[in-house]
Amino acid sequence: MTHDLLVRNAKLRRGEILDIAISDGKIIEMAADLRGGAAEEIDAQGNLVTETFVIGQQHLDKVYTGDWVDASAKTEYFEGDMGGAMTAIERAADVKDRYSEEDIFQRIDAALQCALFSGVSHMRAFIDIDSKAKLMGMRAALKARELWKGRVDLHVIAFPQDGILREPGTEEMLYQAMDLGADLVGGIPWIEFTDEDMRRHVDICFEIARKYDADVSMLVDDAGDPGLRTTEYLAIQADRHAWHGRVSACHARAMSQYNEVYHRKVLALLKRAGMGMVTNPHTAPLHIRVRDLAAAGVTIGLGGESLNDAYYPYGRCNMLEVAFVCSHTLWMMTPRDQEFLYDAITVNPARILRLDSYGLAPGNTADLVVLHDSSLRDALAHHHQPRQVIRNGRIVAETSFVQKARQG
């Protein structure tokens, strides 16, 4: 049999070294020493071959705006107790005065180039909808979604970064964004001024989601305030609306400061609603109790969060790099921890995004990466961009390293 592509000597995470046969964009067979040829062959040379990487949260319209932001905004977000998180968001909004649709598109395009070479196949892109950004970012992101389809697939989220109740006109623009073609409804209820408005924020988002039959992803409780309760309310509403498995919560940093009784209550609500969580321990001093939630069966993904903006000065859409940094911030360094971290940048966010036919198995879409390392430890430690990135059965990116030492 002649296949479109054969990946020879591929080391899987469970240790076997197999050949992977690919045709018509699908994985056809995985076995040792497969017979037959292919139009193109790759010798993985015993290096790891895994699923592609998935980003469950990325503020894609804000990329490369870090130099536009006043230094005080960054200081507020990085404080140890994150007491100034709301102030940081308010100050960071000033960058939108410089927005144009073409500028946003060019910055998104540059970020997706990084994502492509880093082996990212799918990304949830949060795009601001408010009185300053209006629909400029949405139009730019939808243009990029079409251009990059099949290489880096965007799941575009209409995101009211500066609130709904406190930003008159935003609710109407969210409906307009969905009419334009946004994939998901976003929210940030904790940014509102009162508890009543926080709950109304969530309710509005579900009204929109139900109208468009869309999934929901929200940034909740992103500050060091144990009194914040929007994670709980989001889970309650997901359950009430039977949106089970269709809602994800990002950040929820206040959970790190909940007392044990209340934390267990929220955890039970998350499980009941089938909610996934995306955490970013690399971008701020607080984060959810990852070990406790994972042990309870909550699906947890690591997010990209930001790429050189007001909330994170680094980033290059390299999820191996994110996992490496998070192994330190979470103190997760054992072999078992490394397996969890790798799941948190592949299969877990894929589950949160409800990706069909994802995974390294016959019959699934041939989306995979060939790494430069043969062990998971080395892959995380070195966090190189993949040697080859394969999307829908064809090679879309390659990266090589040349090292040369001189004597004398």
pLDDT digits (tens, 9 = 90+) for 105-139: 999 999 999 999 999 999 999 999 999 999 999 99
Q: Given this model, what pLDDT does residue 34 score?
A: 96
- Please compute the mean of the pLDDT values over residues 301-325 and round it to a whole number: 96
Please compute the mean of the pLDDT values over residues 11-34 and round it to a whole number: 97
pLDDT at 73 over 80: no
CA distances from 105 to 66, 147, 307 (A): 17, 11, 15
The mean-pLDDT minimum among 99-103, 110-114, 161-165, 402-406 falls in: 402-406
C-alpha to C-alpha distance for 131 and 262, rounded to whole angstroms: 36
- Tokens for 137, please give them: 């970012």
Instruction: Report yes or no: 20 and 10 within 8 Å, Cβ to Cβ.
Output: yes
Q: Give the pTM.
A: 0.97
First to last CA, the chain: 53
Split at pLDDT 50, 70, 90, the class of 354 is very high
Whole-number average pLDDT of the chain: 96
pLDDT band with cut points at 50, 70 and 90 for residue 153: very high
**Rounded Cα gap, residues 408 and 406, in angstroms:** 7
Residues of the chain above pLDDT 90, percent: 91
The answer to whether residue 96 scores a pLDDT higher than 90 is yes
Q: Report the C-alpha gap between 405 and 388 in whole angstroms.
A: 25
Contacts of residue 341, defined as CB under 8 A and 6 or more positions apart, other chains included, come to 302, 323, 326, 327, 332, 380
Tell me which of 88 and 35 has the higher pLDDT. Answer: 35
What whole-number percentage of the chain has pLDDT above 70?
Answer: 100
pLDDT tens per residue across span 217-270: 999 999 999 999 999 999 999 999 999 999 999 999 999 999 999 999 999 999
- Residue 90's pLDDT band (cuts 50, 70, 90): confident
pLDDT of residue 88: 83
pLDDT at 72 over 80: no
Q: Is residue 80 predicted with pLDDT exceeding 80? A: no
Average pLDDT for residues 43-63, to the nearest whole number? Answer: 98
| Inter-CA distances, 97 with 91, 100, 131, 142, 236, Å | 12, 9, 10, 21, 37
Sign of CA dihedral 52, 54, 60, 65: negative
Q: Which of 49, 110, 114, 51 is nearest to 387 (CA)?
A: 49
Q: Determine the pLDDT at residue 248.
A: 98
- Mean pLDDT value of segment 374-396: 98
Candidates 316, 262, 251, 315; CA nearest to 284 is 251
d(CA 99, CA 115): 22
